[in-house]
Structure 1
Amino acid sequence: MTDLASPNAAASARRRLWLGIGCGLLTSLIWGVQSVVSRQSVADGLSAADVTILRFVVASLLLLPLARRRMRPFPVGALGWRRALILTALAGAPYALVLVGGATFAPALHASVIVPGLIPVMTVVLAFLVLGERPGPLRLLGLALVLAGIAAFGWQAFGESGAGAGAWIGDLFFVANAVMWSVFGLLALRWRTDAIDVTIATCLLSLLLLPVFALTMPIRLGEVAWPAIALQAVYQGALVGVGALFLYTKSVEWLGASRATLFLPLNPVVTALAAILLLGEHPSPVEVAGMVLVIAGMSVALRAR
Structure 2
Amino acid sequence: MTAPAERRGQGAGIALGFAATIFWAFYNVGTAIGRADGFSSADLAMLRFGIAAVLLAPLLLLRHGWREALPLKRILALTVLIGPPFAFLINTGYGIAPLAHAVVISPGVTMLTANALSAFVDGRAVPRQRRIGIVLLVAGLIAIAADQPATPPSGTPAWVGDLCFVASGSLWGLFTWLVGRWRLPAIETTAVVSLSAALCLLPVYLAVFGVPDHPPKAWAVQALYQGVLGGALAIIAFAGCVRRLGAGTAALFPALLPPAAVMLAIPLASQAPGSLQWLGVVLASGGLLVSLDIMRRR
User: Shorter-chain TM-score category?
Assistant: 0.7 to 0.9
Partner of 2:288: 298
Q: Quote the sequence identity (%).
A: 34
1:67 to 60, 64, 68: 60
1:69-88 to structure 2, matched below 5 A, reads 69-70=62-63, 78-88=69-79
Are positions 1:144 and 2:135 aligned together? yes
Q: Which runs of 5+ in 2 are unaligned?
A: none
Question: Which residues in structure 2 correspond to 1:98-247 (within 5 Å)?
Answer: 98-157=89-148, 160-163=150-153, 166-211=157-202, 213-214=204-205, 218-219=209-210, 221-247=211-237
The one-letter amino acid of 1:301's match is S
In 1, Cα distance between equivalents of 2:187 and 2:277: 35
Partners of 2:13 and 2:65 lie apart in 1 by 30
**1:246-257 superposed matches below 5 A:** 246-248=236-238, 257=245
Check conservation: 1:49, 1:213, Cα contact below 8 A. no
Cα separation, 2, equivalents of 1:81 and 1:261: 25
Q: Which moved more, 1:205-214 or 1:31-40?
A: 205-214
Q: Which amino acid aligns with 1:29?
A: I
Which secondary structure state, in structure 2, belongs to the residue aligned with residue 46 of structure 1? Answer: coil
Relative to structure 1, the CA distance from residue 88 to residue 20 in structure 2 (aligned partners, 3 Å threshold; closer, same or farther) is: closer
- Report the count of equivalent residues: 289
- Partner SS for 1:223: coil
Q: Deviations over 1:134-156 (max 9, x none)?
A: 42332222111111110111111
- The code of the aligned residue for 1:110 comes to H
SS in structure 2 at match of 1:209 = helix
1:31 aligned residue = 24
Shift of the 275–64 alpha-carbon distance from structure 1 to 2, 3 Å rule, reads same
Q: Which amino acid aligns with 1:135?
A: V
- Asked whether the 8 Å contact 2:57–2:192 carries over to 1, the reply is no
Distance 1:279 1:19, change over 3 A: same
Cα RMSD (Å): 3.2
Aligned-residue offset at 1:23: 5.8
Return the alpha-carbon distance in structure 1 between the equivalents of residues 271 and 255 of structure 2. Answer: 20
Report which stretch shifted further, 136-145 or 289-298: 136-145
Distance 1:168 1:201 in 2: 34
The corresponding residue for 2:41 is: 48
User: Whole-Å Cα distance in 2 between the matches of residues 22 and 183 of structure 1?
Assistant: 22
Give, in whole Å, the separation in 2 of the partners of 1:26 and 1:125.
24
Deviates more, 1:64-73 or 1:174-183: 64-73
TM-score normalised to structure 2 length: 0.83
State the distance in 1 between where 2:203 and 2:274 align: 39
Question: Is residue 81 of structure 2 the alignment partner of residue 90 of structure 1?
Answer: yes
Q: Which has more radius of gyration? A: 1
Does the residue aligned with 1:90 lie in a helix, a strand or coil?
A: helix
8 Å contact kept, 2:47–2:226: yes
Specify every segment of 5 or more residues in structure 1 that has no aligned partner in the other structure, as ranges. Answer: 1-9
Distance 1:288 1:63 in 2: 37
Please state how far the C-alpha of 1:207 moved relative to its aligned partner. 1.9
**What is the CA–CA distance in structure 1 between the aligned matches of 2:55 and 2:240, rounded to whole Å?**
18
Counterpart for residue 4 of structure 1: none
**Residues 212, 298 of structure 1: alpha-carbon distance in 2 compared, 3 angstrom cutoff:** farther
Q: Take 1:116 and 1:110, find their aligned partners in 2: how far apart are those partners?
A: 10
Distance 1:119 1:260, change over 3 A: closer
The alignment partner of 2:104 has SS state of helix
Q: Which moved more, 1:27-36 or 1:121-130?
A: 121-130
CA contact (8 A) 1:118 1:146 kept: no
Looking at structure 2, the residues matched to 153 and 27 of structure 1 have their Cα atoms a distance apart, in angstroms, of: 23
Paired residue for 2:278? Answer: 288
